[in-house]
Each structure stands twice: as structure tokens, then as C-alpha cells.
């Protein structure tokens, strides 16, 4: 747990961490409700009805009577159905589960910046088998704890991006239990939360960890830094190569002779651009975590490596041609070799490398679309640019610059999410 979480910073203005705090992360702005004592009696009866619905074994006639009364209850309440956040469910903290039948019947014992504690006792409705609590019920409890922890610690309102539960012992029913949660680590907009469930003898029954918003701080920041470096280095290499070999340059040795120095600089920078691109691929893929789609991740990785291999090859051909004049005595033969090399460079970059870059973008955009890890507008822009590169890569050599520019945009967004820069408001 970080010092920030323990130092009682819940009193700080949450707008400092999230300028869109008032939007509540897309959740309704719940206010405490006072529906009267009848609502509490109703919930108590409904919880008991839930238990009996999974445990009672009456005769057929009794089931018919129960169904008639249940239908009468539905008919009574149906005209009063309201929007989310309007009805009293989940808005009465004094009632078990804050007045929501979806939640386990917990009661809040502690609600402080350094942690939250709940008392809870499961009943027959939560049984999965052998009179033990169903394993799927505990993540629901833990996710509720995580939300309370974030609120108590004064953190920006956020959704759970990742939740992992370790089951240590069988969780019994009809037994008083204690659930505790706390912020394990916090930096910028990100919070990493832990929780545990124990019995009256402090035996650990289950524990959970969750990452609110992004999975890790290191992944977006490392990916962003690597992406920025790649965009700058590779963009420089492209400019050096393109100014050495202009658009529609005549075939011959003049470009190889006049641009020898620029090609040498490009050859020195390209390996470092390749290293940063490999790092960018690695950390972006690591950021997928359990959300990774093996098919699209394989296409993403393969197209990225092919793009890098084609680019390396094209740069190597250019440097080799510019340096070969010192070893050739037949000028005519050398001119033919340079002409062949010129065509090879253009084919490697415009026809193959650029299209592999487009496939790289499409596969990554598809992963973002399926997982929601990046904004929808970026997914749309990525598809449009990628399709454009696929269809029009032979039009101009300068179109290759679209790829490092795209990587730079993605990296800036990742830096913003990592809290390194702030694009949302002016300080």
C-alpha cells in the first residue's frame, strides 16, 4: 500500500486526479434514498424468498399458490419501474447490501481512506454445492468492496479492468464473515486494490486483487516512451532516405553517390529504431494481459516483425549500394547494380513494408475494438489510415511517414493515460 493511500488523502479534491470526476465514470450519481420502513421489510422478505426458491420442496398446489402471489407482486410493482439511480435499490446504506438484492447482504463496518471493512453472512441462495458459497458470488462481493475502497480513498471514479480471485478455503453459509479491502498502490489516475474474506477465526477464505482502469502503470508508460522514440528515430530515417532517393528519381548512380552521408546516418539510426519498435510491440502485447486474442495477437506480432525485417533490409540495401562504388571498376555494371538496388529498396518499402505496417495497425485496432482498451475514435482512425496504406502505398514514398505518426499519436494517448502528461485540461 502506498503512502498516498495511507496518508488520508481522501480529503483532497478528486478533480485534481480526474478533471471529469463529475461525470462519475459514466455511472449514475447515486444519492442516499429514504423509501421508508416498508422497503426494509420488503427486502428482508425477498431475501428469504430467494432462499426458499432454491431450497423449498412443497407440493404442486403450493407452487401454484406461490406463483399466483409472485405474479400479484409483479403486477403491484410493475407500474413503478424507474430508471437506474432513481429507485431506492443500492441507495440505502443502512440496509444489508445497501438495499440491493443483487448484492450479498453485507453491512459496512469501516469506511476510511486506508481501507473498508464489511460484515457479511451468506445464505442458501448463494450455495453452489455442498452447502458452500458459489465461487461466482465472491467476485461480486469483492468488486463491490473495490468500488467502496476507491470511493473511501478519494480516488477518481473508475471501472474494474481486471479482477483476480484466489480461493483459499471453502466459504460457508450461515456464518458471520468479514471482508476487507484497501488500496495497494496508487499513482496518478490509477489504483491497484486488494481485498480478502475471512471467517471469525481469521482464516483466509479468499483474496482478490483488481486494477481499476488500466492493468499496470509500467506497461502504458514503457509502451509510450518506446513508441515516441521509435516515431522520432524512424521518422528521421525515412526523411534521410527519401531526400536521398527523391520521388520518381531517375535510375542511376547519382543518388547513391550524392546521398552517401545521409544513408550512413540512416543506417546508424535504424537499428535503434528497430530496438524501440520491438520494445513497443512487447509492452503493448503485455498490456493485453488476459484480454489477448491469440489469433489477432499472432497477426499483430507477425506483421510487426515482418515490417521491421523489410525496413532493415531496405536500409541495408541502400547503404550497401552507396558504399559499393569503392569496390567496383566497371561503371556500367555498377550503374546496373544500383538501378536494381533502387528498385529493390522501393519494392521492399512501398510494396511490402508499408502493407505489413497496415496489417499491424488493423490487427491492433481490432484488439482494441474487442477489448475496449483504447478510445473508439482511435480505432476508427487506425482502420481508415491502415486501409489507405494498403490501397495507396504505391502512390508516394512519403506515405510511409503515416506509420510513425500513428505510433506517435498512440504513444501520446498512452502517456496521457499513464499520467505523465495531461491532455484534458490546462494547469
pLDDT digits (tens, 9 = 90+) for 59-113: 999 999 999 999 999 999 999 999 888 899 989 999 999 999 999 999 999 999 8
Question: Rounded CA gap, 417 and 162, in Å?
Answer: 16
What is the span of the domain harbouring residue 311? 218-417
Indicate if 328 and 254 belong to the same structural domain. Answer: yes
**pLDDT exceeds 90 at position 133:** yes
Domain total for the chain? Answer: 2
| pTM for this model (two decimals) | 0.49
Domain end, chosen from 212, 247, 268, is at: 212
Domain end, chosen from 179, 212, 245, is at: 212
Indicate if 238 and 155 belong to the same structural domain. Answer: no
Indicate if 178 and 296 belong to the same structural domain. Answer: no
Q: Which cell goes with 250?
A: 531517375
Number of Cβ within a 10 Å radius of residue 39: 17
Phi then psi for residue 293, to 5 deg, are: -95, 120
Query: pLDDT-derived band of residue 6, with 50, 70 and 90 as boundaries?
Result: very low
- Which pLDDT belongs to residue 324? 64
Question: Rounded CA gap, 59 and 53, in Å?
Answer: 13
pLDDT in tens, 184-228: 877 666 678 899 999 999 999 999 987 654 334 345 555 668 888
Indicate if 183 and 302 belong to the same structural domain. Answer: no
Indicate if 222 and 208 belong to the same structural domain. Answer: no
Indicate if 193 and 230 belong to the same structural domain. Answer: no
Q: Which cell goes with 47?
A: 431475501
422 part of a folded domain? no
**pLDDT exceeds 50 at position 3:** no
18 part of a folded domain? yes
Q: Which cell goes with 113?
A: 481512506
Number of Cβ within a 10 Å radius of residue 41: 10
426 part of a folded domain? no
Question: Rounded CA gap, 393 and 226, in Å?
Answer: 25
Indicate if 225 and 370 belong to the same structural domain. Answer: yes
Average confidence score pLDDT of the chain: 80
The residue assigned the cell 443483487 is 102
Residues linked to residue 178 through DSSP beta bridges, in sequence order: 119, 198
Least confident of 293-297, 366-370, 386-390: 293-297
For the chain, report the end-to-end CA distance as a whole number of angstroms. Answer: 28
Indicate if 28 and 129 belong to the same structural domain. Answer: yes
Residues linked to residue 167 through DSSP beta bridges, in sequence order: 206
Indicate if 195 and 222 belong to the same structural domain. Answer: no
Domain end, chosen from 180, 212, 244, is at: 212
Q: How far is CA 221 from CA 32, 114, 281, in A?
A: 39, 27, 13
Indicate if 226 and 375 belong to the same structural domain. Answer: yes
- Which pLDDT belongs to residue 217? 37
- Which pLDDT belongs to residue 263? 75
178 part of a folded domain? yes
Indicate if 39 and 126 belong to the same structural domain. Answer: yes
Amino acid at each position: 500500500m502506498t503512502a498516498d493511500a495511507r496518508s488520508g488523502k481522501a480529503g483532497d479534491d478528486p478533480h485534481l486526479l480526474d478533471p471529469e470526476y463529475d461525470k462519475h465514470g459514466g455511472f449514475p450519481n447515486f444519492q442516499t434514498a429514504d423509501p421508508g420502513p416498508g422497503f426494509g421489510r420488503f427486502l428482508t422478505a425477498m431475501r428469504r424468498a430467494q432462499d426458499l426458491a432454491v431450497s423449498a420442496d412443497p407440493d404442486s398446489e403450493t407452487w401454484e399458490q406461490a406463483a399466483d402471489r409472485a405474479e400479484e407482486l409483479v403486477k403491484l410493482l410493475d407500474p413503478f419501474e424507474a430508471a437506474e439511480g432513481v429507485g431506492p435499490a443500492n441507495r440505502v446504506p443502512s440496509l444489508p447490501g445497501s438495499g440491493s438484492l443483487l448484492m450479498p447482504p453485507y453491512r459496512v463496518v469501516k469506511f476510511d481512506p486506508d481501507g473498508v471493512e464489511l460484515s457479511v453472512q451468506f445464505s442458501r441462495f448463494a450455495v453452489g454445492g455442498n452447502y458452500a458459497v458459489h465461487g461466482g458470488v465472491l467476485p461480486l462481493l469483492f468488486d463491490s468492496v473495490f468500488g467502496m475502497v476507491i470511493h473511501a480513498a478519494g480516488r477518481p471514479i473508475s471501472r474494474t479492468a481486471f479482477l483476480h480471485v484466489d480461493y483459499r478455503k471453502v466459504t460457508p453459509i450461515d456464518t458471520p464473515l468479514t471482508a476487507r479491502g484497501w488500496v495497494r498502490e496508487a499513482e496518478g489516475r490509477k489504483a491497484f486494490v486488494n481485498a480478502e474474506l475471512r471467517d471469525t477465526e481469521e482464516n483466509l477464505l479468499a483474496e482478490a486483487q483488481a486494477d481499476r482502469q488500466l492493468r499496470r502503470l509500467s506497461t502504458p508508460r514503457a509502451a509510450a516512451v518506446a513508441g515516441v522514440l521509435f516515431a522520432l528515430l524512424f521518422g528521421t530515417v525515412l526523411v534521410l532516405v527519401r531526400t536521398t532517393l527523391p520521388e520518381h528519381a531517375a535510375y542511376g548512380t547519382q543518388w547513391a553517390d550524392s546521398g552517401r552521408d545521409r544513408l550512413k546516418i540512416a543506417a546508424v539510426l535504424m537499428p535503434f529504431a528497430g530496438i524501440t519498435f520491438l520494445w513497443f510491440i512487447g509492452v503493448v502485447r503485455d498490456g493485453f494481459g488476459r484480454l489477448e486474442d491469440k489469433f489477432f495477437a499472432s497477426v499483430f506480432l507477425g506483421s510487426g516483425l515482418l515490417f521491421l525485417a523489410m525496413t532493415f533490409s531496405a536500409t541495408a540495401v541502400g547503404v550497401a549500394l552507396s558504399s559499393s562504388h569503392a569496390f567496383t571498376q566497371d561503371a556500367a555494371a555498377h550503374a546496373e547494380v544500383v538501378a536494381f538496388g533502387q528498385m529493390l529498396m522501393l519494392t521492399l518499402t512501398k510494396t511490402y513494408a508499408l502493407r505489413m505496417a497496415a496489417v499491424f495497425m488493423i490487427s491492433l485496432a481490432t484488439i482494441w475494438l474487442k477489448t475496449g482498451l483504447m478510445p473508439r475514435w482511435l480505432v476508427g482512425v487506425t482502420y481508415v489510415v491502415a486501409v489507405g496504406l494498403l490501397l495507396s502505398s504505391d502512390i508516394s514514398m512519403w506515405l510511409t511517414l503515416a506509420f510513425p505518426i500513428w505510433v506517435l499519436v498512440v504513444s501520446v494517448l498512452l502517456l496521457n493515460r499513464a499520467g505523465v502528461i495531461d491532455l484534458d485540461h490546462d494547469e
